[in-house]
Amino acid sequence: MDLKLAGKCNLLAPFEKLWQSQIKYLAEHALSCCLASCTTSTDAQRVRERFVDQIIILVRSGGIRDQLNLAPDVKGHVAALAYRAQGTALYHPRVCNYIEALKYFNASIAHTELNSVDRGIAYANRSIVCMELHQYEDCVANVRLARASNYPVRFLPKLAAREARAQHALQRVRTINARKQKNGHRSAERNWQQQEKKQPTAANGAEELSTKLGPHLHGLAVVEYEQLYARCNYCHSRRLFTFIPCEGCTVAMFCSVACLTEAYRKYHRYECGLVRDLWKIGGAEAVTAFRRVAAELASFPDVPSSVEYLELFVAMKGYCAVADGLEGATVQENDHRQLSYRIFLTDIIHQLMVERTVLRFCCIEDPRISRLLFELILYYLTSCAGQNRLVAG
């Protein structure tokens, strides 16, 4: 197994089939209606809503979801074992690719269940790599994580011996550093270790990223898929020696409990159940768009009591982007196609959101909320197109 996105869906194929057979005609018909009879924005909005509803019907009646093979994200032994085996191969003395090995051990940890033997073994393997890289403090931390995660009893003496060696080495390094600092020399720590310490933490990362991205975008930059097990999902630091996993999905890892808590509070509680499938069906664009939706929702005390604000938000943000496209006499066919594709993708994401998040209940009880959330997803898919903020390696 590798760390590249596996099982990515070819969403364009079923869309293209619908576009050629039906949606293209519907878009042309909606445009002609706007040009012929829409004298007010209310008229245009009605045409838009009818066009959106027609695409939704086509998506839901055409068995599109069945073709995509989407399923809830589940942690399991098979994937955890495969990633761990790959990490072990990279750690082999003939390879010694320790950083890549760490990424695979992190992927293994992300796919393990809480307090499972698999997780304990992966933490222990990570402690070995930390020892090789002279990250003694992180080695001790991983040993303790392994011990707390039902590491096999028969191997505990070996784990304890590694912990003792790491603590002894750590004390020796600290003593040497103290002497050198006393004599006016630099610390014995490696340069790459010093650079690692400059990476943002949950405390100072927010301020730094807010400065770079703007105060409303912190936490919304998406780590590119190939770096999910090498960067914190929240502050984007590269503390891959001690990452801890989200317990609800297999794609989010964090450098600390503080980052995990903040991410969950600010966006991850809404995206957790569907983020892996978002990567499969829409890539970074879909993940970025839905994360902004999640951040908007997380800013409310609760969604049902905030429905009036949502309606105002919809109006102020101008969610009539599709209507704007249909009203223009100079709009090209490709623009219609792009807008139609985003409606197509929005409906699939909206279905996943209703099925896999706590929003299911309020959407069932109040169709108005369901429609507003649909519009919210569509708006951010449109506004995020070509403007993804990806955190690369």
What's the pLDDT tens digit per position in 110-124?
A: 999 999 999 999 999
Q: Where are the domains of the chain?
A: 12-71+274-391, 77-191, 205-271
Alpha-carbon distance of 148 to 156, in angstroms, equals 11
* pLDDT over threshold 80, residue 212: no
* Per-residue confidence (pLDDT) for residue 42, from 0 to 100: 73
Q: Who wins on pLDDT, 197 or 110?
A: 110
* pLDDT over threshold 50, residue 223: yes
For 77-191, which CATH class? mainly alpha
> pTM score, two decimals?
0.84
* Per-residue confidence (pLDDT) for residue 186, from 0 to 100: 55
* Per-residue confidence (pLDDT) for residue 205, from 0 to 100: 44
* Per-residue confidence (pLDDT) for residue 315, from 0 to 100: 66
* pLDDT over threshold 60, residue 330: no
* pLDDT over threshold 50, residue 201: no
* pLDDT over threshold 70, residue 215: no
pLDDT class of 257 with cuts at 50, 70, 90: very high
* Per-residue confidence (pLDDT) for residue 28, from 0 to 100: 86
What's the pLDDT tens digit per position in 137-150?
A: 999 999 999 999 99
Burial 192-214 (b: 16+ CB within 10 A, else e): eeeebeebbbbeebbeebeeeee
What tokens were used for 10? 């070819």
CA 252 to chain centre: 6
pLDDT mean across residues, the chain: 84
* Per-residue confidence (pLDDT) for residue 209, from 0 to 100: 38
* pLDDT over threshold 60, residue 295: yes
Between the alpha carbon of residue 377 and those of residues 146, 342, 345, 371, the distances in Å are 40, 9, 9, 10
* pLDDT over threshold 70, residue 321: no
What's the pLDDT tens digit per position in 176-189?
A: 877 777 666 555 44
* Per-residue confidence (pLDDT) for residue 180, from 0 to 100: 76
DSSP β-ladder status, 390-391 and 222-223:
parallel
DSSP β-ladder status, 390-391 and 253-254:
unpaired
